[in-house]
Amino acid sequence: MNKKPNYKLLTFYKFVDLKRPKEIVEEHKSFCNDIGLRGRIFIGEEGINATLSGNFGQIKAYRLFLETIPEFKDIPDIDDKTTIVDSHQFPKMIVRYRKEIVALGEVFNSSLIGQSTHKISVDEFKQLMETNRDEFVLLDMRNDYEYDLGHFKGAIPAGTVYFRELKNVLDDYKRQFDNKKIIMYCTGGIRCEKAGALLEREGIQGVYQLDGGVVKYVNRFNDTNWVGNLYTFDNRISTKVGDDNTHSVISKCHYTGQPAEEYYNCRYSVCNDQIITTKDQYEKHFGFCSEECYHKSKKTLLVRNEYFDKLDYKMLRGKIKSDPSKKDEISSVIATHLDRQLLNVEFNKKYSKKLTK
């Protein structure tokens, strides 16, 4: 008999001007650790940005705790963006002070965010997608690697690898979208709130945003307006959207070009690039994204341990640190091991995309 899931994943934020953010961080940290929550919570002058998991009792207790903090009452969409999950989705609890709760390069006060917010509901958005699709430009404000995994049909990518790069593409937006109605969206809504304020300040007026982001939409509707998987910032990373009738795979394997929908990190820690592939292909290529990372790993020994590889690289690096005279011997062991494992494996990528930027 299948065990009924009894965990929840909360994803929420609130832009509110905080006068004592560091005090609130310490209070939050103590409470969350005491009751066993796991996740990431950032608190700063702009407000709070959080994603965390816990069992039903832990989440109920945390919701009551939030209500004791006047600035955090009435968190928008906290129920609509809650997801039922099988277990904790984070390895530990992190609560930190951050001057910006979402990094764009400057702090925006809540009144500026509020003045620049032009939201449309998920119901309005669905109707527009299905009846008036030619009347607006749909702009995906997430990063390129998120877009590649899945997005709304017909959406245009923001053209950024990191959100803080948004200022660099504003002139392109002005040229592309001049006098056009723009609707933008992001995972949970927070990036669109800041982006809306920035775009309006820079002269791009009347930009609308999907209220609650993708999470709120897919929690409400199971349709084909979304294609592919959703990138989430928790253990799931690549999250299936829809069911057998509505789910689709749009992303391609990094190694073969065939359909794939799982994200992995390159094992060469200096690179650590995220690549879409399958478990089999990732293991076949021993976790390296490119020929460059494979060869650099042999020279630097900076290889991340993985379940499919018997060598403990971290331990071996520790041995070298304790006794530098063993470096050549251990380097030879690692190089021989990697060469043997990858003897008949070809990489279709000669260089790492991340290292060559």
The residues that are catalytic are 186
Quick one: pLDDT at residue 225?
Answer: 97
Do 263 and 276 touch, CB atoms closer than 8 A?
yes
Please tell me the distance from the alpha carbon of residue 302 to that of residue 286, in angstroms, as a whole number.
Answer: 14
Between 162 and 357, residue with greater pLDDT: 162
Share of the chain above pLDDT 90, in %: 80
Between 26 and 170, residue with greater pLDDT: 26
Task: Please compute the mean of the pLDDT values over residues 333-356 and round it to a whole number.
Answer: 94
- Express each pLDDT in 60-90 by its tens digit: 999 999 999 999 998 999 999 999 999 999 9
Task: Please compute the mean of the pLDDT values over residues 304-332 and round it to a whole number.
Answer: 96
CA contacts within 13 A on the Cβ side of 42: 13
Please tell me the distance from the alpha carbon of residue 333 to that of residue 231, in angstroms, as a whole number.
Answer: 37
Please tell me the distance from the alpha carbon of residue 195 to that of residue 136, in angstroms, as a whole number.
Answer: 18
CA contacts within 13 A on the Cβ side of 210: 30
Token pair for 13: 């934020």
Quick one: pLDDT at residue 180?
Answer: 85
Please tell me the distance from the alpha carbon of residue 57 to that of residue 142, in angstroms, as a whole number.
Answer: 32
- Express each pLDDT in 137-164 by its tens digit: 999 999 999 999 999 999 999 988 888 8
- Beta partners for 230? 239
Please tell me the distance from the alpha carbon of residue 268 to that of residue 153, in angstroms, as a whole number.
Answer: 34
Cα of 5 vs its chain's centroid, Å? 23
Q: Amino acid identity, residue 3? A: K
Q: Amino acid identity, residue 342? A: L
- Express each pLDDT in 161-207 by its tens digit: 888 889 899 888 888 888 889 999 999 999 999 999 998 888 888 89
Quick one: pLDDT at residue 303?
Answer: 97
How many other CB atoms are found less than 10 A from the CB of residue 4? 7
Which of 91-95, 169-173, 175-179, 216-220 shows the lowest mean pLDDT across its residues? 175-179
- Beta partners for 275? 264
Please tell me the distance from the alpha carbon of residue 158 to that of residue 104, in angstroms, as a whole number.
Answer: 14
pTM: predicted TM-score of the whole model, two decimal places: 0.88
Token pair for 200: 């309006």
Residue 1 has pLDDT above 60, yes or no: no
Mean residue pLDDT of the chain comes to 94
Between 317 and 112, residue with greater pLDDT: 317
E strand residue ranges, the chain: 7-15, 38-44, 47-55, 83-85, 93-97, 119-120, 137-140, 150-152, 156-157, 182-185, 207-210, 226-228, 230-231, 238-239, 262-265, 274-277
Token pair for 352: 């790492």
- Domains within the chain, CATH numbers bracketed: 7-97 (3.30.70.100), 110-239 (3.40.250.10), 262-341 (no CATH)
The sign one gets for the Cα dihedral 33, 35, 40, 45 is negative
Cα–Cα distances in angstroms (integers) from residue 235 to residues 38, 39, 96, in the given order: 11, 10, 19
The DSSP-derived string for 77-118 is TTTTT-EEESS-SSSSEEEEE-SSSS-SSS---HHHHHHT--
Quick one: pLDDT at residue 43?
Answer: 98
- Per this entry, what is the length of the chain? 357
